[in-house]
Structure 1
Amino acid sequence: MKLTKGTLVAVVDGEKLVLFENTGAQEIELTAKPVPAIPERASGAPGRNSGGSNPDNDTQAEDGFAVGVADALNHMVLTHRTESLLVIAAPKTLGQLRKGWHKETEARLVGEIAKDLTGHSTDQIAAAIDKA
């Protein structure tokens, strides 16, 4: 996958968000960007206990984090802090993110990669983008 210069790359899992900007013109060159605070959000109905059909607390926390990340990325798009966005996320997290995209965010998405790369180096992330 080729990225234009200035594309925001969000690498997400259920607990962590890392942001990069592609600063390379021909090759992918990722430069770390500051990450906004993601407010803790509860997912699911309050007061519900985990059971057979109810998600456990960890799952609710991860889903809530994904909702917060979607809100933060939507805000960046809507305030014109990015013209194009690539999201790399663990598959489950990516599913939760998709539920929260604003239509303008969807329009600026240049791609999604369903892979957990949050603990990887920038070189490994760039290689995964190149292969996609």
Structure 2
Amino acid sequence: MLVRKDSKVIAVDGSRMAMFKNVGEAFDPVLELIEEHKNPSLRTSELGTDKPGRSFQSKSPSRGAYEPTDLQQQEEDRFVTEVAQRIEQIVGDKDARVILVAAPRALGVIRKHLKPDTSARLLAEIAKDFGPDAAEPLAKMLAKHEI
């Protein structure tokens, strides 16, 4: 994949976002970290302590339980929504060349929160899980990746 010099690569998962700048050549990218955000991971007990809800049938003695809410996933989705807003700001610059690499679930949440014109201006969306400490493996993947 052609990653032009000074293009930005944003790597996102549920708990981290890192923005890199390509300081290398187009076919041999070298990524330099320019911005990083981390979602402080709280224990589930710190996020909430409620028990799952119960349901009762009025015509029979049977009872059932509702599926408990995944509080960790809600927190990750909230963080990824904030990242989507940051991507809106970055891509708002008309000259910005941005490649988005995100974990598949995070990419789905980001897509829901990006405006259509912002999504259209992204150079590529790649559904892979790379953290902010993975600049070198990410650069190798981009060099081999085909759109």
Give TM-score scaled by structure 2 length: 0.72
1:62 aligns with 2:76: yes
Question: Number of paired residues?
Answer: 122
Equivalent residue number for residue 111 of structure 1? 124
Letter in 2 for 1:60: Q
Q: Taking structure 1 as reference, are residues 130 and 123 closer, same or farther at Cα in structure 2, changes over 3 Å only?
A: same
Q: Which has the higher strand share?
A: 2
Q: Please give the alpha-carbon distance, in whole angstroms, between the structure 2 residues aligned to 1:81 and 1:16.
A: 26
Match 2:138 to one of 111, 114, 125 = 125
Q: Taking structure 1 as reference, are residues 53 and 131 closer, same or farther at Cα in structure 2, changes over 3 Å only?
A: farther
1:1-132 alignment to 2 at 5 Å? 1-26=1-26, 27-35=28-36, 52=66, 55-78=69-92, 80=93, 83-118=96-131, 120-132=133-145
Runs of 5+ consecutive residues of structure 2 not aligned to the other structure: 40-49, 53-65
Superposed CA deviations along residues 66-91 of structure 1, whole A, max 9, x for unmatched, are 1100001101222x185211111111
Q: 1:34: how far off?
A: 2.2
Letter in 2 for 1:2: L
Q: Taking structure 1 as reference, are residues 53 and 122 closer, same or farther at Cα in structure 2, changes over 3 Å only?
A: same
RMSD of equivalent CA atoms: 2.5
Give TM-score scaled by structure 1 length: 0.79
Q: 1:119: how far off?
A: 5.5
Q: Please give the alpha-carbon distance, in whole angstroms, between the structure 2 residues aligned to 1:90 and 1:84.
A: 20
Q: Taking structure 1 as reference, are residues 64 and 87 closer, same or farther at Cα in structure 2, changes over 3 Å only?
A: same
Superposed CA deviations along residues 62-115 of structure 1, whole A, max 9, x for unmatched, are 11111100001101222x185211111111001001111123321221111111
Superposed CA deviations along residues 1-20 of structure 1, whole A, max 9, x for unmatched, are 11122211110000100110
Is the CA contact 2:16–2:38 (under 8 Å) kept in the aligned structure 1? no
